[in-house]
Amino acid sequence: MTASTRQIEAQVVELDALCDENYRVRLSCAELAQQILPGQFFMLRKPGCTDPLLGRPFALYDTVLDETGRAVGIDVGFHVVGKMTGIMEELIPGDTLEIWGPLGNGFPAVQTDHLIQVAGGIGYTPFVATSREALMQKKYGTETDRQRIQAKKASLIYGVREKRFCADMSDLSDIAGLDIQLCTEDGTAGHHGLVTDLLQPMLTENPGESIIVFTCGPVRMMQAVACLCADHQTECWVSLETPMACGFGACFSCVVPIKQAEGEWDYRRSCLEGPVFPGSEILWEQM
């Protein structure tokens, strides 16, 4: 772990349902909240629990501020898929979780005319903080001279299988300048189709406009987004949701195939060198 990493017990403040099988839990942990940056993650586990024994990684949803504007907690978005998230689904205010972080490298401090964020399923959660920072609504971290994500405008393309899996977007409704476009694979809400259907025209509609794409979600969705961006010579960064065991690079359980010079490739640890990587550098065929 780095010197800035904190390992503490955080108290649960509240638990809210975002949609079917998706939740947001609020944790009181001021030290971590004041350090973490958009795109970074942390590990969570239930104190005294041996099944699961190891922590699980979760991306920052957003920080929570007190009445003075000081970060005092974090929000965590999660989808119920296994034992740990099943435990988290039953949390009540006053419960505690072990948390350590901030971990990994977040989204780069890019400057662009148009930041397009493409999300699938629970993969939209990192884009609450990135949208707020990009549109100058909120600051993250303690370094006053840190370069920040900046954009003249921002979009969020959000795709789910069907309407019942569409998360409540109210947490983003107060972000002025953020355009949200929804699509569903079965056509029950928004555009009937895939996120790439909506991304394609955005990449070409304003010639001369600088565009950068961030994406997070299912692997094949991110692959399709990265390939489309490559076709249009558009910079693309992907936030991987790779399973992890330790979270700080010791176990090599979260390795990602990354292209090297002269057609070679090698593994990089998602928890340490990532979880955010340039989409053009990932060897998607090996994922």
How confident is the model over 152-194, as pLDDT tens digits? Answer: 999 999 999 999 888 888 888 889 889 999 999 999 999 999 9
Token readout for 132 is 């707020």
Q: Is residue 150 part of a domain?
A: yes
Q: What does the alpha-carbon distance between residue 20 and residue 12 come to, in Å, rounded to a whole number? A: 21
- The pLDDT tens digits of the residues spanning 19-59 come to 888 899 999 999 999 999 999 999 999 998 888 888 899 99
Contact 15, 25 (CB under 8 A): yes
Q: Looking at residue 3, what is its pLDDT?
A: 47
Residues 49-72 pLDDT 10s: 888 888 899 999 999 999 999 999
- What's the pLDDT tens digit per position in 106-124? 999 999 999 999 999 889 9
Report strand pairing: 150-160 vs 178-184: parallel
Residues 115 and 192 placed together within one structural domain of the fold = yes
Q: What average pLDDT does range 205-228 have in this prediction?
A: 96
β-partners of residue 278 are: 237
The DSSP bridge pattern shows strands 111-120 and 56-65 to be: unpaired
Cis-peptide into 52, omega within 30 deg? yes
CATH number, domain containing residue 264: 2.10.240.10
Same domain, residue pair 233 and 250:
no
Chain centroid, CA 232 distance in Å: 24
pLDDT for residue 5 is more than 80: no
Taking the alpha carbons of 171, 174, 180, 182 in that order, is the dihedral positive or negative? positive
Do 122 and 233 lie in one domain? The reply is yes
Domain's final residue, options 238, 261, 278: 238
**Higher pLDDT residue, 142 or 28?**
28
Both 231 and 254 in a single domain? Answer: no
Q: How many domains does the chain have?
A: 3
Kindly give, in sequence order, each residue whose CB lies less than 8 Å from that of residue 189, ignoring residues fewer than 6 positions away.
162, 163, 166, 182
| Confidence class for position 135, pLDDT limits 50, 70, 90 | very high
Half-sphere exposure of 139 (CA within 13 A, CB side): 9
Average per-residue pLDDT in the chain? 92
Residues spanned by the domain of 47: 6-103
pTM of the predicted model, to two decimals?
A: 0.93
**pLDDT value at 2 more than 60:** no
The verdict on residue 1 lying in a domain is no
Does 141 share its domain with 44?
no
Question: Rounded CA gap, 231 and 226, in Å?
Answer: 9
Does pLDDT of 6 surpass 80?
Answer: no
Res 4 pLDDT > 70:
no
CA distance 275 to 243: 11
Which residues, 6+ apart, have CB-to-CB distance to 83 below 8 Å? Answer: 51, 52
Does residue 36 contact residue 42 with C-beta atoms inside 8 Å? Answer: yes
- CA-to-CA separations, 206 to 93, 209, 211, in angstroms, rounded: 48, 6, 10
Residue 26: the pLDDT is: 96
Residue pair 4/108 in contact (Cβ under 8 Å)? The answer is: no
Residue 175 is part of a domain; what is its CATH number?
Answer: 3.40.50.80
For residue 195, give the 3-state DSSP assignment: helix
Pairwise CA distance, residues 63 & 30, whole Å: 9
